[in-house]
Chains A and B, each alone.
Chain A
Amino acid sequence: MTSCLPNYRCIVPSLFYYAHLLKRGSFLILVLLGMCSSLAAQVPVTGRVTSGDSAVANATVRVKNESIAVQTDINGAFSILASSAATLIISHVSFISKEVKVTGNAINIELEPSAAQAMNEVVIVGYGTQKKSDVTGAVASVDKKRLENLPNTNFAQALQASVPGLSIDQNSGGAEGNNNTIRIRGRNSITAGTSPLIILDGVPYGGSISDINPSDIESINVLKDASSAAIYGSRGANGVIILTTKKGSRGEPVISYDGFYGIQDISNLPRALTAEEYYQYKITREPNSITTSEQAVYDSKIFPDWVDLVTRQGSKMQHTLGVNGGGGKFRYYVSGTYLDVKGVAVNDDFKRLSTRINLEANIKKWLTLGSNTQLSHNDRSGLPATFADYQGAFRFNPLTTAFNADGSPTIYPWPQDLFFPNPLAPTLANNTDETYKIITNNYLNVEIPFINGLSYRINTGIEFTTRAQNTYFGTNTRTGLQAKGDLTITNSTNKNILIENIVNYNRSFGIHSFSFTGLYSLQTETGRTDNLDATGFPNDVLTFYQANVASSIRPSAGYTKESLLSQMARLNYAYDSKYLLTFTVRRDGFSGFGANNKYAIFPSVAAAWNISSEDFMNDSKVITNLKLRASYGSNGNQAVSAYNTLARLSTRSFVDGATTMPGYIPTSLGNPDLKWETTVGFNAGIDFSLYNGRIQGSLDGYSKRTHDLLLSREISSVHGVSRVLQNIGKTSNKGLELGVNSINIQTANFVWSTNLSISGNRNSIEDVYGDGKSDTLNQYFIGHPIDVNYSYKYGGVWQLTDDLAKAPAGTKAGFAKVVDVNGDGRITPSADRMIIGSRQPNFIYGIGNSFTYKKFSLYAFLQGVQGTSRVNALISDNVQNGVRNNTFYKNYWTPTNPTNEYYANVLGANIFGANIYESDSYARLKDLSLSYNFSSTILSRFKVTRLKIYANARNLLTITNWTGLDPELNSQEDIPLQKEFILGLNISL
């Protein structure tokens, strides 16, 4: 107590007591933790300084024009004596200083990060960290607002549209939502994988994205250019996403609870024909095709609404309890999270229970030991109802019966067409699907004695996953009835082990500074799968526990092993912190490649110039920071799985009487020359910070060329095999990216800030087979993007007034018209098919706007894709012969409705199968959140340091011309995308 400053009075002695325990006699800590107020004859003003959701400790709070000053404690709290009309000045090295008028005796102050903070911010760049001001490559960080208080089931949902140049498309709906296409800077590869490498706490991660608890993630950095990704060499060509989990911070232990609960609803449903419309449609299309059972349903006027039966109002909830703290030599972050999602599809559930223990101990001055460990259990049990394809709910014949008299789902909803099982059948199956996973990263860091700046780090990663799936279809389903019970058991284990030896050497000589990183590593990934299919059971009682009594048992097993052996060296040089150079080279050896090409080398170089550090920039009032960057280098893509270079045979067994005769035939061709595909890229960028950090951003331009594509190429089936994997072809990607953060308005009570990311990429196939010729078969067209729409051009409908003599043979009025592109009077595949747009967007964007008024914050995140088109499968009458399926509402041609929109409801009306394309560009209000932060003065009475409540609406609004289910989803008749509404709470003690 005696060490309190003379004219300050301590008002929370208990805090001093804790501080005392932590660091006895330390003046500094006492000041840090002290909540003090002036003794002068003035009003005591208390308050809290925050930035975003975190408290700002160590900020100086000063009364303007007076000498009275205090510092905030670890919780950002302060108390100061000031006159009622006084102005407080709050300053901190990392934040923009702010002046606030005293109103009342409790005040909360929100600070915005300064440019200095941004530039001193440490960025994780792989195999180490760098100050942002020293970074030479294109490295982007995800806005923290995307990681907090949002209903993210996985980190990809946080990343979507939040980093310029990174595109994420959710391919399918469902509770888990883990089917995403993630691409950084366009698509390099035609058929090989284009997913970026994911690094979790320094370890390349190979598992499912939904196995990582997103609420444990502290930061996400994205390495985009050749130089920054070059440290990951053969796997860097598609970019790198670096996830870093939360670490303990030194100071008072903080206990926190974060939780939310919400509901999910279908965001959009396409309009299928009603039962009455379907009846008419069917009669028109194929007279006499109505069966007696359909007629009976029609006459009864009791129609099942199949889509309604297979969907529901879903829910999502998550609870996270965490403790975070640490002393001088020890830091810890421990959390447990339970997530429970019930999707909008009946029986589509996802549950995840995960715990994380992150520890770091400074054992000796020269020795640090750490561990980042997650244990998790994912439960995907239960099969959702069938949505897609002929047997799915979306196109299910409405003239059918969903339930028996006793309320159980029918086995054959259409008794006269036994092809159709009840779409609800999977919900009757006994199914469990559980995954247990350990992800643990352990490291030891040794500061080598006697050599200043030299350290050695051994970094290990173990990812161990077991998944057990059991399914039994009983005789109350079509599958089970026809097989007398159908059992499938799949057990898989996956083991991913990494050992890295890393040497770091950092030295400065005057104004020259060097840092060197060397790496030698080995990563192996092994997978083993055991599968058992069995059918024919005496009864359903023992579900999937009765394989021993099956009349047919078919086991199978699979095993793969991949190894990657790597060396990497990186050298950074800085001259006076103004001129920066980075050289990187990585050599990788990968088992999956052909015997003749196991190794490859990927070099890169980058340079940067901190212009604002130059003397001539000192006087600039506008520019706070300005940096130019340029990089050039090559990266690889090793998207080949094990054994792909070997000529493999497939099992084709025969039988002699009742004896199995094992048989095999060749179904793939070997390629001992197969190797990495290589992307050589140039990047130029500028980082800027204006008006003392109120506007910050980066602008990057890049050009990449990829050669030796890993092309799974369709070849003439005369080979006996129709596909082969080769290193053949070239692509290019060019693009521009802009990311800007700005504080648009800042007053005492109101702040409006914006986070914008926008990027455009131009993708083009440069060459396919080395002869400069396009490949029509595979639809690879030189000078065009990889995924073009290629078809006959739909030209409307043959009208009664048209001269049908000029139409192709068999054409009648009402048939689809195909544009005769070359005008030869015939429709031929070689001359009349053409490119009609592509799936590649012109640009993608995300805009987050945050409005803070006093304790309220409103956050809106808008995200969009512009310039794509594709076939909408819903606008074709895919009903099978005999009209066995329902279809979606269309403006059909009839003699009295001479439209060109859609041809007549007549069999064979689209002779050439011309596709109708639609724009699937969209803009989506992805998140809209409102939050309220309770005043710390109120909270302190309850010993609570922080309390925030919030509400969020996800996928509230989508603007698009697309008429299908959703422009983002691949299948337009599978589980729909959901809207979510959640209410949440953060509380810290």
Chain B
Amino acid sequence: MKLYSKLLLYAISAMLFAGCSKDILNENAPSIILADNLYKNKVGFEAGLNGLYYEVRRSRSGYTAGDINGMMLVPAYIGTDNAYGNYLGPASSFNIWGVSNNSTLGEYRLEWAWLYETINAANTIITRAENTEVVWTEAEKNIVLAEARAIRAWCYRHLTYSWGDVPLILTESSGSDIRTDFDRTPVAEVRNAMEADWLFAERYLPEISANQGKILKGAVQHFLAELYLATAKNDKARDYALKVTTNPNYKLVTARYGANAAKPGTPFTDIFLEGNSNRIQGNTEALWVMQAELNVIGGEPDNVMRRYWVNRYYSLVVGGKSPFLVSADNGGRGIGRFGPTKWALSIYPAGDDRGSDFAWRFSYVINNPGGVPAGYVLGQTYNLDRTSNEKANNPNWPSTRKWDYASPVDPNIDRAYNDQVYIRAAETYLLLAEAYLKLGDQGNAAMAINALRTRAHAPTITSSEVTLDFILDERSRELFSEEERRYTLVRTGKFVERVRLYNVLSKATISDRDALLPIPQNVIDANLTKKMPQNPGY
């Protein structure tokens, strides 16, 4: 009996305290994608690249992924000589600058975080591409690296133009190495890395691609030309710009084409019509086009360009009535956060397609049967007031038509689903003009500019008319709301000067320091063990 009880005790003890099964505690995450599982072959790396393109597309989206509130690149577009914050209100930091432009603005924090998130995504691809266990060919690897490096340099382009010196990170971040001592790398050094990335990309990227959303060799040559202008290597800038402008694949659109070719319009404005943006649709000057597709997973860009640039015509009150309803004909539903300065509207010569009714919404047709003001009839055209200065919260103000879009589901829908051209060769012509000007060759500079003016049916200019300011004016005429205007002005050292000249709301309060944005306060605060210097004046 005693033996029996002892045996029982031993048996129970063994059951209770037997060696534990280790396997049960090892995590197998069948529903989650991990870096270690993904970057194993060409398909995995391509999925990583798709993620990068999504991130690039966010530059025209809300502050946070999947959201349409805010706009990622607010400071790149407005508070400049040619655009201001209309329905951002008169007190918007980008209208009044001064103390309201400070390091705690959410716009800066979120934009910075998005750019470094994208850099880390690119770095993860670039770092892991060197893993010898990856199953792919050398050619496949090089094209993946080319796209990832092109987009990484593109991120640093935003960072350096906006903030100047920024931390240069070229390897994947790791949870076991959290840093609190980042340095701000001098711009020149960051630009060296950008140059290396783009030169690599330029070697391997194709000139054209069946996939309409891919960054092309021409886009990288374009960015290189711009980089060389920024670093005063004007001959290289000229050479890389010429690689684009002389490439027959990238020739300017000069004739009507595409969706509305038979209807009234201009070759210039055809580029921006829905169904016309991609190279395959006839837009030969496209170097990089942002892709979207309604009702397709991955096609939701959360794009806010129409929301932000189309004005609130439906809020316009005429004779106590609301004559205008949201419609596709009126450009869809905008919320008019951004608007052109009066100066931007004033610079078009007569006959310039780029300043025509096809490019700008200068008037609306009364389409609200219940809101016809006294003295008007339904269907009558109502001209907006272009005589006053730009002011905040003004529905009676023109807006660009480059981003017009209305969903077939409901014209009131927040998001836009049209493909949008992001970089086109026309801009490269203007980089070329700038390079020629700086090299003292005004004749060729005028020729480059005239290529655009001819296409737009604007009077051509003579070489003596070419100055840096003229080129900046021409850029506004051609690229209004497309180019990141702040970058151009900062690159040419003209930002504060031209805002003081042309932006009524900002001229009194802008100061030299505003040419560089303040480093986000949370980035400074997180650098616990090394003081990260703020830009001067903040």
Complex: chain B residue closest to A521, CB-CB: B16
Report yes or no: B5 in contact with A589, Cβ–Cβ below 8 A. no
Number of residue pairs spanning A and B whose beta carbons lie under 8 angstroms apart: 305
Report yes or no: B393 in contact with A647, Cβ–Cβ below 8 A. no
Chain B: residues with Cβ within 8 Å of the partner, total of 114
Report yes or no: B182 in contact with A716, Cβ–Cβ below 8 A. yes
Report yes or no: B523 in contact with A716, Cβ–Cβ below 8 A. yes
Report yes or no: A589 in contact with B25, Cβ–Cβ below 8 A. yes
B52 in contact (CB, < 8 A)? yes
Interface residues on A, range: 35 or more
Per-residue contact bits, chain B 217-261, to A (CB 8 Å; 1 contact, 0 not): 000000000000000000000000000000000000000000000
Report yes or no: A520 in contact with B38, Cβ–Cβ below 8 A. no
Report yes or no: A520 in contact with B410, Cβ–Cβ below 8 A. no
Report yes or no: A565 in contact with B21, Cβ–Cβ below 8 A. yes
Q: Give the CA-CA distance A456 to B12 in the complex, in Å.
A: 8
B389 in contact (CB, < 8 A)? no
Report yes or no: B176 in contact with A672, Cβ–Cβ below 8 A. yes
The answer to whether residues A663 and B48 also contact, given A654-B53, A720-B116 and a CB cut-off of 8 A, is: yes
Interface residues of A in 790-808 (CB under 8 A from B): 808
Shortest CB-to-CB span from A47 to chain B, Å, is 52
Complex: chain B residue closest to A592, CB-CB: B27
Of the candidate stretches A6-14, A286-294, A750-758, the one touching chain B is: A286-294
Report yes or no: A563 in contact with B25, Cβ–Cβ below 8 A. yes
B385 in contact (CB, < 8 A)? no
The answer to whether residues A665 and B55 also contact, given A649-B33, A714-B522, A769-B180 and a CB cut-off of 8 A, is: yes
Contacting residues, chain B, for A669 (C-beta < 8 A): 173-175, 178
Interface residues of A in 477-532 (CB under 8 A from B): 481-484, 501, 503, 518-520, 522, 524
Contact of B29 among A643, A718, A810 (CB under 8 A): A643
Interface residues of B in 20-42 (CB under 8 A from A): 20-22, 24-36, 38
A744 in contact (CB, < 8 A)? no
Report yes or no: B291 in contact with A777, Cβ–Cβ below 8 A. no
The answer to whether residues A664 and B57 also contact, given A716-B180, A777-B525, A908-B100 and a CB cut-off of 8 A, is: no
Shortest CB-to-CB span from B145 to chain A, Å, is 17
Report yes or no: A648 in contact with B16, Cβ–Cβ below 8 A. no
Report yes or no: B54 in contact with A809, Cβ–Cβ below 8 A. no
Q: Give the CA-CA distance A291 to B24 in the complex, in Å.
A: 64
Shortest CB-to-CB span from A874 to chain B, Å, is 21
A551 in contact (CB, < 8 A)? yes
Report yes or no: A663 in contact with B47, Cβ–Cβ below 8 A. yes
A378 in contact (CB, < 8 A)? no
Of the candidate stretches A186-194, A302-310, A721-729, the one touching chain B is: A721-729
Q: Give the CA-CA distance A295 to B315 in the complex, in Å.
A: 12
The answer to whether residues A881 and B117 also contact, given A292-B317, A908-B91 and a CB cut-off of 8 A, is: no
Contacting residues, chain A, for B526 (C-beta < 8 A): 714-717, 777
Contacting residues, chain B, for A650 (C-beta < 8 A): 65
Q: Give the CA-CA distance A188 to B329 in the complex, in Å.
A: 60
Report yes or no: B5 in contact with A656, Cβ–Cβ below 8 A. no
Contact of B112 among A563, A717, A912 (CB under 8 A): A717
Shortest CB-to-CB span from A649 to chain B, Å, is 4
Q: Give the CA-CA distance A654 to B53 in the complex, in Å.
A: 7
A653 in contact (CB, < 8 A)? yes
A747 in contact (CB, < 8 A)? no
Report yes or no: A717 in contact with B113, Cβ–Cβ below 8 A. yes
Q: Give the CA-CA distance A673 to B176 in the complex, in Å.
A: 8
Contact of B117 among A646, A651, A653, A667 (CB under 8 A): A667
Report yes or no: B412 in contact with A482, Cβ–Cβ below 8 A. yes
A590 in contact (CB, < 8 A)? yes
B160 in contact (CB, < 8 A)? no
Q: Give the CA-CA distance A775 to B50 in the complex, in Å.
A: 37
Report yes or no: A653 in contact with B32, Cβ–Cβ below 8 A. no
Q: Give the CA-CA distance A667 to B175 in the complex, in Å.
A: 11
A54 in contact (CB, < 8 A)? no
Report yes or no: A881 in contact with B87, Cβ–Cβ below 8 A. yes
Shortest CB-to-CB span from A415 to chain B, Å, is 8
Report yes or no: B393 in contact with A567, Cβ–Cβ below 8 A. no
The answer to whether residues A881 and B393 also contact, given A643-B27, A777-B525 and a CB cut-off of 8 A, is: yes
Of the candidate stretches B266-274, B319-327, B487-495, the one touching chain A is: B319-327
Q: Give the CA-CA distance A775 to B176 in the complex, in Å.
A: 20
Contact of A720 among B30, B96, B123 (CB under 8 A): B123
Complex: chain B residue closest to A768, CB-CB: B528
Contacting residues, chain A, for B96 (C-beta < 8 A): 810, 908
Of the candidate stretches B296-304, B434-442, B460-468, the one touching chain A is: B296-304
Contacting residues, chain A, for B26 (C-beta < 8 A): 591, 595
The answer to whether residues A292 and B299 also contact, given A591-B25, A646-B27 and a CB cut-off of 8 A, is: no
Shortest CB-to-CB span from A625 to chain B, Å, is 36
- For the residues of B in contact with A, the DSSP-based class is loop
Q: Give the CA-CA distance A911 to B104 in the complex, in Å.
A: 12
Complex: chain B residue closest to A653, CB-CB: B298
A773 in contact (CB, < 8 A)? yes
Per-residue contact bits, chain B 285-311, to A (CB 8 Å; 1 contact, 0 not): 000000111111111000000000000
A829 in contact (CB, < 8 A)? yes
Contact of A536 among B21, B49, B298, B409 (CB under 8 A): B409
Shortest CB-to-CB span from A298 to chain B, Å, is 13
A783 in contact (CB, < 8 A)? no
Complex: chain B residue closest to A503, CB-CB: B12
Of the candidate stretches A140-148, A554-562, A847-855, A951-959, the one touching chain B is: A554-562
Report yes or no: A647 in contact with B34, Cβ–Cβ below 8 A. yes
A364 in contact (CB, < 8 A)? no
Contacting residues, chain B, for A722 (C-beta < 8 A): 113
Report yes or no: A501 in contact with B412, Cβ–Cβ below 8 A. no
Q: Give the CA-CA distance A913 to B91 in the complex, in Å.
A: 13
Q: Give the CA-CA distance A559 to B211 in the complex, in Å.
A: 34
Shortest CB-to-CB span from A333 to chain B, Å, is 31
Report yes or no: A810 in contact with B393, Cβ–Cβ below 8 A. no
Per-residue contact bits, chain B 108-140, to A (CB 8 Å; 1 contact, 0 not): 010011001111110110000000000000000
Report yes or no: B32 in contact with A652, Cβ–Cβ below 8 A. no
B501 in contact (CB, < 8 A)? no
Shortest CB-to-CB span from B310 to chain A, Å, is 13
B275 in contact (CB, < 8 A)? no
Q: Give the CA-CA distance A829 to B4 in the complex, in Å.
A: 76
Q: Give the CA-CA distance A672 to B174 in the complex, in Å.
A: 11
Report yes or no: B296 in contact with A655, Cβ–Cβ below 8 A. yes
Contact of B119 among A591, A657, A720, A726 (CB under 8 A): A720
Contact of B178 among A652, A672, A719, A810 (CB under 8 A): A719
The answer to whether residues A557 and B31 also contact, given A448-B8, A551-B295, A716-B527 and a CB cut-off of 8 A, is: yes
A104 in contact (CB, < 8 A)? no
The answer to whether residues A720 and B120 also contact, given A416-B322, A522-B24, A653-B297 and a CB cut-off of 8 A, is: yes
Report yes or no: B53 in contact with A484, Cβ–Cβ below 8 A. no
Report yes or no: A662 in contact with B321, Cβ–Cβ below 8 A. no
B443 in contact (CB, < 8 A)? no
The answer to whether residues A665 and B117 also contact, given A536-B409, A882-B393 and a CB cut-off of 8 A, is: yes
Q: Give the CA-CA distance A588 to B102 in the complex, in Å.
A: 49
Complex: chain A residue closest to B181, CB-CB: A716
Contact of A660 among B118, B296, B409 (CB under 8 A): B296
Contacting residues, chain A, for B167 (C-beta < 8 A): 718
Contacting residues, chain B, for A541 (C-beta < 8 A): none
Contact of A662 among B18, B47, B333, B414 (CB under 8 A): B47
B88 in contact (CB, < 8 A)? yes
Contact of A717 among B54, B413, B522 (CB under 8 A): B522
- List of 3 A-B pairs having minimum Cβ-Cβ separation, nearest first: A720-B120, A663-B50, A908-B91
In the complex, besides A665-B48, A714-B526, 16 extra interface pairs with C-beta distance below 8 angstroms are A286-B393, A417-B315, A482-B412, A483-B409, A503-B12, A522-B24, A552-B296, A563-B24, A589-B20, A653-B50, A654-B54, A659-B296, A720-B119, A881-B92, A911-B99, A912-B99
Would you list 29 pairs from A and B whose C-beta atoms are within 8 A, ordered by A residue? A292-B371, A419-B335, A448-B8, A454-B9, A483-B409, A552-B294, A559-B31, A565-B20, A589-B20, A595-B26, A652-B50, A654-B53, A654-B213, A655-B299, A658-B293, A658-B299, A660-B297, A665-B124, A669-B173, A670-B175, A717-B520, A719-B120, A719-B179, A720-B173, A721-B173, A777-B526, A829-B102, A882-B89, A911-B100
